Chains A and B, each alone.
Chain A
């Protein structure tokens, strides 16, 4: 009896001691081995540095996270969640489901070290979240094909068209792409638009300030049509995913792929070596336009309904640290947004860092910068255009009607 009493007392005393260890709940959205390992390593380090915080993590599949976030932000909010910047965060910032972290940015000097990426993390003058990683887009090409034809990396549009002609001559399709899931076509559109009109027009278009039938956008599509006619993409792209589209590239039937850096891992898995693949920035079209790049970022946000905001901010400050970002991105093979972080010595990461750190502006993706309803119609339009460029004006006019409705 006595022993029971003592143990009950012991528990009663122990409970407050445990309660002093504060819970911090973090929802993360990537189950792939490398991102998961990097996240878990960072969490372990954070827990070690803050023994008084009890970190609880929920790691979800990416697609599941996209659906779940709409519920858990109101119903059962974690203290920190991963999400995307640009317009993809707008529904949550506009309804007040994410809270401002301006103080984290100010206190940790992030305005300087994250200067390049600050605009996409900001909405209506308020900064939300801290990005932990981003990656470059560009043209990945078969170096052996280029060497065999005596081609150099393309500097200009005309170089590229000439290079395409040389490739077609020997039976190599210049570009591979798989547009079944649409966003790949948006990547090509973004680059042609960024090179034709520049960063400001990209933002104005995705913000709904200029029409799709605007002469500048029409010019973008005219250039794209030229690319389709004189370079050309693999046939059947509308029924292929981006992974399916690797096959002709790996086999040497296609020479180039406009893609994000994550494709390199898949190419290597398919048996290509560093000697066979290389990276170049998308060549310039209008030399007067400053070079802007596509560089989608992943970030952490604090929901308004978070219970432990103080420690959530501590975690965001931790994620922003240069040493943490260096290690994290070394593991996942991407770029650290913090300009003081060290970049992995992988050749693609090095080249990509060169490209994005010297860019005049960093765009998120078309589908992250434009509101969802516009993005889905827009990308369908891009796919339709790639299948039949003669429908150009019809598609643009339809996008104008959608735009009028959405904004």
Chain B
């Protein structure tokens, strides 16, 4: 009875239910991905093309009273202007400085991770303390470092005062300091301000790399270490030939997040210098914000052109990253 029923049903419903059933495995992931894809399209993909399109216009971001855009098509003029814009080149140079110096986070993070990967009472506390900077918001880190560098009341200023200044009484009788040499004002110096901000940015980034390496170190095979030890390896040789190769996945991720972190550096600059003094700490992301959306922006087309350049740089990097991943996947199969 039951057998005949089932066979009848299969015959009846075969054309419809069968398709869903047959393709269940390939449909399911799309079903789960759909909401994310919709949002990704609305907030990431479409704006990318909008920026590309807008970068061909001169536009102050306003619509007239009827709701028509006031943009004027100017072709590639924005890119020509970029080429002659010293601020753009300063931003690009600073982006490169960020990329290069931010990479320090990877080896320093590894060093700290190796140091913390020991069995000592209370080590968990030390680990959390080292990880702590990554928990703090970038904005707060920027604020704290802004005070830290302050030559009047910051740590730098206080140390300087202790070294080179003496307490005197000023003309109207209040306590003041006279210094044999002026305190360094890192954030107002066009030469040093960028490095000051990068140093501030490195602080949480090192903590991030450290945690990646700590998890990586947990997975290092102890039998291999033992075998190496029996062969007489220790110190640098052990690290270089036995531990590091096993940390390759961790290194890869650490490099990836550090590069992305460097390229999208924005919040620290906004908090610590607003791109100043006179634009010398600008990076592409902040410069785009400055010309398009900030108080004296109003140049949406030009800002979009800056955004497109930053996007192109990221695209090169991300394509390389995807290619590497693809190669690795192929290798493991």
Contacts and interface: CB of A to CB of B under 8 A. Distances in A.
B67 A235 contact: no
Contacts of B171: 145, 148-149, 170-172, 252
B216 interface: no
Interface in B288-328: 290-291, 293, 295-299
Contact of B174 (A70, A91, A181, A251): A251
A171 B170 contact: yes
A7 B329 CA distance: 72
B170 A92 contact: no
Given A235-B185, A239-B187, A305 B170 contact: no
Interface string B184-226: 0101101000000000000000000000000000000000000
A181 B176 CA distance: 26
B64 A239 contact: no
A229 interface: no
A70 B277 contact: no
Interface stretch (B14-22, B33-41, B55-63, B121-129): B55-63
A247 B276 contact: no
A288 to B, nearest CB: 33
Given A67-B293, A252-B174, A375-B296, A387 B277 contact: yes
Interface in B38-70: 60-65, 67, 70
* B-side interface mostly: loop
Contacts of B151: 235-236, 239
Interface stretch (A18-26, A116-124, A349-357, A376-384): A376-384
A383 B297 contact: no
A288 B313 CA distance: 56
A247 B172 contact: no
A369 interface: no
B60 A180 contact: no
Contacts of A97: 62, 64-65
A294 to B, nearest CB: 18
A34 interface: no
A237 B185 CA distance: 9
Contacts of B297: 372, 376
A95 B152 contact: no
A96 B64 contact: yes
A259 interface: no
Contact of A376 (B170, B185, B293, B296): B296
Interface in A223-267: 235-239, 247, 251-253
A177 interface: no
Nearest to B295: A66
A81 interface: no
Given A70-B62, A236-B152, A253 B176 contact: yes
B172 A252 contact: yes
A239 B185 contact: yes
Contacts of B251: none
A394 B64 CA distance: 39
Contacts of B172: 142, 144-145, 148, 252
B296 A384 contact: no
B107 interface: no
B81 interface: yes
B86 interface: yes
A292 interface: no
A303 B185 CA distance: 46
Q: Which interface residue of A74, A92, A148 has the most chain B CB atoms within 10 A?
A: A74
A97 B69 CA distance: 12
Contacts of A148: 171-172
B170 A239 contact: no
Interface string B163-190: 0000000111110101000110101101
B67 A405 contact: no
Interface string B144-159: 0010011110000000
A95 B298 contact: no
A47 interface: no
A150 B164 CA distance: 33
A172 to B, nearest CB: 5
B152 A372 contact: no
Contacts of B63: 74, 95
A398 interface: yes
Contacts of A172: 170-171
A251 B61 contact: no
Interface string A94-115: 0111000000000000000000
A236 B64 contact: no
A73 B63 CA distance: 9
Contact of B185 (A171, A179, A181, A238): A238
A66 B61 CA distance: 13
Interface in B104-134: none
B265 interface: no
B152 A247 contact: yes
A160 interface: no
A383 B276 contact: yes
B114 to A, nearest CB: 37
B182 A235 contact: yes
A67 B62 CA distance: 11
B159 to A, nearest CB: 16
B94 interface: no
B170 A251 contact: yes
A196 interface: no
Contact of B277 (A303, A304, A383): A383
B279 interface: yes
Given A253-B170, A383-B276, A305 B185 contact: no
B138 interface: no
Interface in A119-169: 142, 144-145, 148-149
B95 interface: no
B274 interface: yes
Contacts of A238: 185, 187-188, 276-277
Given A142-B172, A252-B174, A372-B298, A236 B188 contact: yes
Nearest to A383: B278
Contact of A239 (B173, B178, B188, B295): B188
Contacts of B276: 180, 182, 238, 380, 383
A172 B60 CA distance: 46
Contacts of B290: 376
Nearest to A255: B171
Given A373-B299, A380-B276, A405-B81, A237 B62 contact: no
Nearest to B60: A91
7 contacts: A95-B64, A97-B62, A170-B171, A180-B273, A238-B188, A253-B170, A387-B278
Given A95-B64, A96-B64, 10 more contacts: A91-B298, A148-B171, A170-B171, A238-B185, A238-B188, A305-B65, A373-B291, A373-B298, A376-B290, A380-B276
